[in-house]
Structure formats: structure tokens, C-alpha cells
A and B are shown apart, each in its own frame.
Chain A
Amino acid sequence: MNSKRMVWPVVALTVFVLAGLAPGPGWAGAAKSGEVVAYVSMTERDIAPMQEAFKKATGLDVKVVVIPIGQAATRIKVEAGRPQADIQMGGSIDYYQELAKQDLLIPYESKNAAAIEPKYKDPQHRWTGWYMGVLGLGLNEQAFKKELPGLAYPASWDDMLNAAYKGKYVHANPASSGAAYTFIVGQILRMGSEEKGWDFMRKFTANVAQYQNTSPGPSNLVATGEYPIGLAWAQDLLVKVDQGYPVKWIAPVDTAYEVAGISILKGAANLENAKTFVDWILTQAEGARMSGFSLRYSTRPDVPSPKGVPTFNSLKLVNYDFVWAAANNQRLTKQFSDLMRK
């Protein structure tokens, strides 16, 4: 009796297993014509419009995993030449330099990269810098008025040393946030020497209320008024502006910026489509679309700056040294985390 009653569940289960595995997504694993796969270290907001624009321009699909650059790099490293994606895009070229050093990227010189200045490109073409994100301050106008009455909005990083900000400014941890690392390098370059840079950061960290673990972390907390002010990439804060939070982005004088890269991964299964994708990303038209949509500055000189923010040339920026930044990451991060513990 019992064995008979067990028959149906067993049959149903078997059918479900077979039905489930047969068309199992990714069961085949390998390349599929008509698509390209990317690890994207950008925000969710960027994805759908980009997929649509790419489909319209080339008829191809781009499939993505949204994954912060540090995690993406970990994956690319452990997948060691057999990546689950063809492309890595977004995130600072600091990471791309390190991935290139570990021989995980394929050289590809896109015809559309010719318009981009050499300082934004790998001499061996393993990565190309395609947009710039500017580091600044995110500010909640309501909370600022309430918690810091009468204070003018800061115009420079030095303004942030004002004791009024003590416990009201939220920063990020450079061990896991690209923004916080760019901040360190930016301050050292701005002050002219490591010694002076660290001297500034020692005073600066005295005002920090807490350190978030990701770059968008401070923007998220500033948006809800948890803190009146915090560290922010322009493009991260824009996400919150878009959703209706009362926030504003400020570019302090002599601030730093990141250049975000794009690369084809070694072992890419859809190599030809990946090349098509890189070519497309680097076109003037796509640069203009992305720039207009997201407060990112294209590295192409023929793409106008995003609306509503100062033009790139009018921004006062430090002369950021990307090679030096990548080479000293471990040491500077460690030094900053000693400051955080005080």
C-alpha cells in the first residue's frame, strides 16, 4: 500500500528534476551567438537603458551581473582565465591595472578609442578608461539646515575640518570603497606631499561619525537624513536625487576623480561580440547618452559634460596619478585604517 502511494510523488519529482535540468539556464554554459556577458560595476539604474541602447544599435543582447568592482576582481581572479563573463566594465582603473598585471585581461585596441587621450588608456590596450566620476560631497539640504543651522555649504575639503561637522559627516572605508581610496590619493596630491596629506587626513578623520563599507553607503544614509553630509561620487548621489530625496551634490575645490575602465576578459567565450560591445561603448553617441543620463563625464573630448553640473574643464581637479595610486593601494589603505582606529 505504502509503496503504491509513494509512486506518484516519486514520478512527479523525477519529471520535475528532468524538466528542470534540461532547459536549465546556463546548463550549456558555453558561448551563445547574439549575446555578450558583462560584470558591471555600476549602479542598477544604469543597466536597463544601456541594454536597450546596445540592442538598438547592434541587435545584440548584453547580459549582466551588477557587482562592485572589488568583488568582480575577486571573481575574475578565482575564475582564472575561464571567466563567466566576457567583459568587465565600470570601477576604477586601479583595479584594471592590477588585473592586467595578473594577466587576466586581453589586449584590444578599439578603433573608437583613438579619440581618447593616452593618459586614460593602457599603453598595451588591455583596458580603456571610458568615463570619469568626480568625488565630492553629498548633502541633505533639510537635515543640513536642521543640524547645522546657519552654516554655509562647504566649498572645499578644508571647510570640512570645521568642528561643527564633528559626528555629522559619514565617510567610507578605503579597504572596500573605491571612493574612500580615491579620497586618500586625492588629499595627498592636493596637499603636495604625503606628509601634509596625512596631516590633513588626521584632522579630517576626527570629524568622521562613521565609515560605511561601500562607496554608495554614505549617499544612502545622507538621503534619509541619517547624517546631513557624506562622501559621494556624483553618479551615486544622482540615484538618490532621482528617487526624490532632498539631496544635493557638491564638488569641493581641488577634488579628485576616478577613471572607470572597460576590458575584455582573458578566456572570453563571446570574443567577437565583446569587441563589438567595447567599440559601441566608446562611440561618441553612447558616451553622450550615458553622460546625459548619469552625471558621468565621458573621456571622449567630443562628448559634452553632463547637464546640471559644472563642465569637466571648469572643475578644479587635482592632477590624479593613476599609476602611483594603483601601486600604493595596500600601503595607503593600511595607513588610513590606522587613522580610523584612533
Chain B
Amino acid sequence: MRHAFKGNIKPSRVLVGAAAAGVLGLFLLWPVGLILCYPTVPAAAQVLANEHWFEALWHSIAMAALAGGTATALGLAYAYALVRIRVRGSGVLHAIALLPILAPPFVISISYILLFGRNGLITKQLLQMQLNIYGWKGLWLVQTLTFFPLAYLTLASVLRSIPGNLEQAASNLGASNFRVFRDVTVPLLRPGLVASLLLVGISVLADFGNPVIIAGDFAVLPTLAYLKVTGWFDLDAASVLASLLLAPTVVLFLIQRVWLGRRSYVTVSGKTTQQSHPPAPVWMARTARVVSYAAAALIVLVYGILAYGSVSQAWGYDYSLTLRHFTQLGRRIPSLANTMQFSFFGAVVSVLLATALAYVVTRRKIVVPGTFDFFATVPAAIPGLFLGLGYVVAFNQDPLRLTGTSLIIILALGLWNLPTAYRYAMANLAQLSEQLEHAAANLGATPVRVVSSITMPLLRGALLAGGTVTFLRNVTCLSVIIFLVTPRTPMATTDVLALVEGGEWGQAASLSIVLLGIALALLFGGIHLIRHVGQELEL
């Protein structure tokens, strides 16, 4: 019997594993490999001799470290204020911190210029100072504000999972509130701090939207590579520069995996205890409160000026009201419809593939689960622009000629967001006991029945959560699709880019506001749906 049972289950798992490996190989490794191997060796050598790549590499790494540090510090203060001190309006502050995550790229840089530029509303009109936002200091500020929500979300979930009894015990033993924080809370936070540093670091390394507009003459690798593609269509140089960028990103990524290991999952599924925490030291509470209110106010300003721009005659000059930019959005309906459709199916691809991979990795140590785990998370380290370019090179020939179809966009989005969906699938699947499935199998259920009646229903929350988050990431994604959209498959974010570059700022702002609204609606819809099945959406 025992033997028969094993024979019953195993082939299906091997099958799932093989299918997942096939999809990963074809739609991830092949296109990325093609684009990285694009230049010939002499061409690559010439690029390295010609370009000021070393400086850009150094700038990229330094910016990742700087912004990673400040974003983590800000994220910690924010999380502390919301989770521990529970400052007034915590719910609103939480929602505000989500805005930068949902922002369509590029257009928000305009807000920064209008607020903090040479002629900025805050720097010039309010503070009467001649500040130069263009350059590394401006970029540092913008990257901190853009990416601190990642740090905040990571640290908030860690803070929530730290049981109160440890801190209470230290406090009862006579430790001052500050000592409790320093000697108990901070050590428990350490993995979260490292996770946040690495997460922000990787995101800053890969970002080109902000540096392209804000950084001025301060060259970083992604902008240098992007400009090679958009300038004199020098794919050799772009591919070499992208490979250079891949190196530090993969290093950070590997550190993340080795250092944090499986611990990161514990924070996601950690249970909060009833024991209350001792109060925070007064000065710390005050600092956290001021810092978090200030950060939230800045974000509101940045998005407020965008919203204002969408109803202004001439954004940045003539702020008299008009609805003309919104009435002109009629032409964008096909793009918006495509964005919704492709984003949805992209999320379906991510979730299905992530679930299959998580299933293989957690359920049976059949074929090197570590390898699957690695490839399910590695797309996070690939700049979207190059995944997109790789898709064009890989899928513009028979037998798999996909360029120009909706499918190629759906697949690219699906694979690119795989790590996000995978994180949710893993967090839930790791908690599910295998015993339930075994029991059903022993009672005679077929493998299909086991999955459909036991595993899937228990995973609903994870599927919905992963689906919601990937869906809304797709809606505001630009880098992946920039080379995949065609006149027959236009999408909203590429329209925004064309509008920004073409100087139609009012329309760019109004389209961005619509996109932001859609993303927010999706998020809140998702939160309610997930609550409906009895879970909470952890971002």
C-alpha cells in the first residue's frame, strides 16, 4: 500500500516540476541569455574601453548604499510610529506610504522638479533658496522617498511579529525603555533591517526612471544602458552595461538569500501575541512621530501636485482649473483596456507558475528544490528593460513567433513578477501541513482531487494576495513592456512616457491619475476579497 501511494503522487510532482522548469527555461533563461550574449567578445571589449562604465558602476553602488541606508532609517521610523506608537491617523499614513509603490514611473519626477527644482514651489517660492536638485543629492532624496515604503512594509511586519513578552520581561527586570529598545528590539529587528537594506538596494540599482530625469549629469548604469538603447541603438553597449549591472544586483541578491535564508518567511507568517509592549522612550516616540508625519506630508505634496497638474491649464505655470486633459483621455481607452487585460492575465501566469514552483519546492525534495527556489526569485534582479528586449530577440522567429501578440506581453509581465507571487505562495504553502494531503490520498483521492479539494482551497488567500499584488504591479509597469507594445497592443504606461517626452504634461498627469486610481481600486478590492476568505493582505 505504502509503495502504491508513493507511486500515485510522485509522478504528478515530477510532471509539475518538469513543466515549471520548461516554462522557466523557455521564457526566462533563454531570452535573458540571448540578450546578455548579444555582443561579440571584441565588441564587448570595445565597449568597456570606450564607456565611462566604471564611474557609472561606482555611482550605482554608492547610490544603492546611500538610498538603502536612508530609506531603511526612514522606513524604520515610519513603521515604529505606525506599529508601536500607533500615532494618530495610522491608517491614513499606511495608505499614503503605498502611493510610491503604485506610482506610474517618470511622471512623478516632474512633481519633484516642480517642488524642489531651481524654480520649485518649496525650494524657491517658500524657502527662497537656490537649491539644485539635479545630481546625486537630488537623486538620493528622490530614491529615498520612492523606495522607503518597501523598507516600511518589511519592517512593519517584523515589528508586528516581535512578541511583547520579551520586551516586557526586560522591562520588568528593570531595563530602561531605551535599553529595552537597544538590547531587545533592535537585535530582533536585525534580519528585517538587513532585508530592507538589500531590498531597497536592489530596487535602486535597477531603477532608471528617476535618474533619467533627476540625476542630470550623474551617470548611473541603468540610465547609461537605457540611453544606449534609446540613443544610437547601440545594443552591444546596452547589453554589456546591463550585464555589469547584473553583477552587483546578483551579489546583493545572493547575500539576501544566504544571510536571511528561510528566516524571512517566518516574519510573514509570524503570529502576534497578546502581551503588550512596554512604552517607547519619549524622545524616540517624538522623533518617529515627527519623521513619519513629515514623510507622509512630502508624499502627499508630491502626489497632490500631480493631481493638481492633471486639472491645470499648464502644469507648473498656469494653475487655473480645466477638465480638458481628462476629456482628451478618450483616445486612451484602448490602451487602458489593454493594460487591464494584460495585467490580469500576467498576474494569472505569475500566480500559477509561482504556485507550481512553491509546490515543488516545499512538497517534495525531488529535484534540487534550491535551484527552483533560486530561479523563482531571480527575475527580481533582472532590469525589466532587458527582459523585454530579450523577449523581442527570442520570440521574433519561428517556431515561437510571438512579437506583436498580447501573449508576449502577458508572458513577460508574468515572468517578471514571478518573485512577488512566489513569495506569497511560499509563505502559505510552507505553513500547510502535508499530512492533510497524505490523509486524502490514503482515503483514495486521486492526485488531481487532492490538489483541487485540499491544497487549492487552503491556498486561496495566498493566490488572491499574490494575484492582487502582481496585478497592480503590472498596471504601473513600464520597463518590461516598452519594447513589446505595438500599435495594435498599446498600453497606458508607454502612453504616459510618450506624453511626458512629447511635452504633453497635463495629459500625462491625468492619465497617471487614472492609472493610480485603478491601482488603488485593485488594491482595496483585493484587500476586501482576501478578508472575505478570512485572511489579511500583507504587502
Contact = CB atoms under 8 A, between A and B. Distances in A.
Contact of A213 (B52, B223, B316, B504): B223
B21 interface: no
B232 A175 contact: yes
A316 interface: no
A67 B498 contact: yes
Given A26-B488, A79-B396, A334 B452 contact: no
Nearest to A211: B217
Interface in B482-526: 482-483, 485-490, 494, 498-499, 501-507
B503 A239 contact: yes
Given A29-B404, A236-B503, A239-B504, A333 B318 contact: no
B457 interface: yes
A43 B229 contact: no
B314 A225 contact: no
A48 interface: yes
B301 to A, nearest CB: 17
Interface residues of B, number: 70
Interface stretch (A70-78, A112-120, A127-135, A291-299): A70-78
B404 A221 contact: no
A239 B315 CA distance: 13
B52 A6 contact: no
Interface residues on A, range: 35 or more
B502 A44 contact: yes
A255 interface: no
Contacts of B453: 2-3
B488 to A, nearest CB: 4
A5 interface: yes
Given A71-B230, A226-B119, A334-B50, A26 B498 contact: no
A329 B235 CA distance: 15
Given A24-B406, A80-B396, A244 B502 contact: no
Contacts of B67: none
Given A78-B393, A244-B318, A84 B487 contact: yes
Interface string A228-271: 00000000100110011110000000000000000000000000
Nearest to B218: A210
Interface stretch (B110-118, B165-173, B178-186, B371-379): B110-118
A27 B456 CA distance: 31
Contacts of A216: 501-503
B233 interface: yes
B329 to A, nearest CB: 12
A244 B348 CA distance: 45
Given A3-B452, A224-B316, A246-B317, 5 more contacts: A38-B487, A209-B118, A211-B216, A216-B501, A223-B314
> 4 tightest CB-CB pairs across the interface, nearest first?
A224-B316, A2-B457, A63-B487, A26-B488
13 contacts: A6-B460, A21-B406, A65-B487, A66-B498, A70-B231, A78-B396, A82-B397, A95-B233, A175-B227, A220-B503, A245-B314, A245-B318, A329-B232
